Structure 1
Amino acid sequence: MAGYLAGNVDKWIYIDVADQHPDSIRFIMDCEKALGIEIEILKSTEYCCVEDCIRVFGGFRDAHSGFAPCTNWLKKRIRKEWEAKHPDYDLTYVWGYDLNEIPRAENMIEANPQAKHEFPLIEKNLYKEDVHGLFERTFDFKRPLMYELGYPNNNCVGCIKGGMGYWNKIRKDFPEVFESRARLERLVGYSILKDKNGPVFLDELDPERGNMDTEIFPECGLMCYFAQNNY
């Protein structure tokens, strides 16, 4: 939606990660048809999946810097490699941060001075619920399946940044992923989760802990209509 609202995007890129739900590719193909523009798919040739990154790094993230190898090696590094192959481009990135994510947008500008940046959702005063409502009013195909299943983001299935409620939902919806991540925790000797008492390993996580009442329901309020009518 951010790229659609920007209206002047001349290059669409999708960075594919094996751990994302397969329905994500269906969504990309539907976007291509609706936009009439080819979406270039990039993918790491160095690492196959999240588990590869975790095994090499020896953990899920750096405790001091917050560095997550999967995010950095499977996504950020791929974008930087694409930039390096196109040194003559005058880059302007369009980001999908919403009105709740202004600090993230500011950090993105500071961390990437090599390019200009646009934030259409913030500029149009849109929250995530507005964006989902606007999507349903604009297009005739479905959102990525992870949203339909009640997840707040279309991240990797088994995202290491998820909380206890998220992981207990993954336990029910994708038990094989839950079990795989639980084995990976024991292999590297670090847990994804923690509480005030310390590490909480997935194979010890109480199935009743956490809260997943975070489903994004489409809602098209005043700002949603304004954004659509001013596209």
Structure 2
Amino acid sequence: MGALMSTHIVCYSGGVASAIVAYEVVHRYGAENTLLINHNINPWVEDWDIKRFKQEVSDYVGVPITYVNMPDWDTKDQLDVCVDAKAFKVGIHPLCTNRLKTAPFHKWLDQNYPVRKGSCRTDVTLYYGFEKDEPARIERRRSILGEKGYRTAFPLKEWSGIISCTREIGIEPPLTYDVWKHANCTGCLRAGRQHWYVVYCRRQDVWDKAKRAEAIIGYSIIKGTYLKDLEEKFEQMRKAGIRADEKMKAPTFWAAAKRILGAQPSEEVLSCSVNLS
């Protein structure tokens, strides 16, 4: 067990990776020393089974979820906040991540675990479910939070002997993994064409709203093309029976599309965060 005065804050996205981290942190340091921080996302784009999963893991480890939500989270989604700001990105980073997650979290940290300028909170550690194969993402997050005075840890990369799936503790992962790669918003603004093909086939309501957002903002979600310009190709793919999920790696997926349709769209593969995470 860790020292009683030490606080272990798990950035708990609702995906399997962060759930494993939650379990392992509680197992190592105790429920009484652990916080699970989550940003509730509008249920229109965050599947009900992700919410089920978050609660089941929380109940299992004995730590209630601390929700750190943006204002109007239950009426606005990732597209709404971008339309409000008239932008999809700030620099190279999706604006929605900041509005839905990062800004509320940093405000909560400043209010609950403030750091004096030039010092470091040695009694607080922030935990993330970043994978072993994400070294750049890990170092960037460590650097950003280190500059703010917080220590970080990444158990999936740094700890040994941890569980590999929540099924090991009797909790089924979200059903969304049967279709999507991550437990992120449906209509992820970090994602590439494969994700949006799945949205086109499975969530026409999200697709249509995203098209309207592009028209209002005047920029495309996917670099180099607007969604409306992909509809004809995507409809051909749908009619040809090309599977509408993210289970297949992007190069293999588009190779299949090329074989069937005789043309391969140029795919820009971008990593998703939640994280969302």
TM-score for both structures, normalised by structure 2? 0.67
4+ residue stretches of structure 1 with deviation over 6 A?
A: none
Task: Return the alpha-carbon distance in structure 1 between the equivalents of residues 143 and 65 of structure 2.
Answer: 27
**SS in structure 1 at match of 2:165:** helix
Structure 1, unpaired ranges of 5+: 216-231
Counting only pairs closer than 5 Å after superposition, residues 8-23 of structure 1 correspond to structure 2 as 8=29, 10-18=34-42, 19-23=45-49
Deviation of 1:125 after TM superposition, in Å, equals 6.6
Task: Return the alpha-carbon distance in structure 1 between the equivalents of residues 35 and 134 of structure 2.
Answer: 24
Q: Deviations over 1:20-49 (max 9, x none)?
A: 222221111111221122111221116632
**SS in structure 2 at match of 1:193:** coil
Counting only pairs closer than 5 Å after superposition, residues 72-221 of structure 1 correspond to structure 2 as 72-87=98-113, 90-113=123-146, 114-124=149-159, 133-136=164-167, 138-149=168-179, 151-194=180-223, 199-205=224-230, 206-207=233-234, 208=237, 212=246, 213-214=248-249
Please tell me the residue identity of whatever aligns with 1:108.
R
- Among candidates 79, 83, 87, match of residue 51 of structure 1: 79
CA contact (8 A) 2:127 2:153 kept: yes
CA contact (8 A) 1:152 1:214 kept: no
Task: Return the alpha-carbon distance in structure 1 between the equivalents of residues 173 and 249 of structure 2.
Answer: 16
Q: Deviations over 1:141-172 (max 9, x none)?
A: 221222122x1111111011111111001111
Higher Cα radius of gyration? 2
**RMSD of the TM alignment (CA)?**
2.5
**SS in structure 2 at match of 1:200:** coil
Deviation of 1:123 after TM superposition, in Å, equals 1.3
Task: Return the alpha-carbon distance in structure 2 between the equivalents of residues 161 and 52 of structure 1.
Answer: 15
Deviation of 1:3 after TM superposition, in Å, equals 2.2
Deviation of 1:97 after TM superposition, in Å, equals 0.8
Aligned to 2:272: none
CA contact (8 A) 1:163 1:193 kept: yes
In 2 relative to 1, CA 125–161 (structure 1 residues): closer, same or farther, beyond 3 Å? farther
TM-score for both structures, normalised by structure 1? 0.79
Counting only pairs closer than 5 Å after superposition, residues 61-80 of structure 1 correspond to structure 2 as 61-62=89-90, 65-80=91-106
In 2 relative to 1, CA 26–134 (structure 1 residues): closer, same or farther, beyond 3 Å? closer
Structure 2, unpaired ranges of 5+: 1-19, 115-120, 251-277
In 2 relative to 1, CA 68–86 (structure 1 residues): closer, same or farther, beyond 3 Å? same
The percentage of aligned residue pairs carrying the same residue is 22
Please tell me the residue identity of whatever aligns with 1:201.
Y
Question: Aligned pair 1:38/2:64, yes or no?
Answer: yes
Task: Return the alpha-carbon distance in structure 1 between the equivalents of residues 213 and 63 of structure 2.
Answer: 39
Aligned to 1:3: 22
Please tell me the residue identity of whatever aligns with 2:166.
F
The count of aligned residue pairs is 203
**SS in structure 1 at match of 2:89:** coil
**SS in structure 1 at match of 2:113:** coil
CA contact (8 A) 2:166 2:172 kept: no
Moved more, 184-193 or 16-25: 16-25
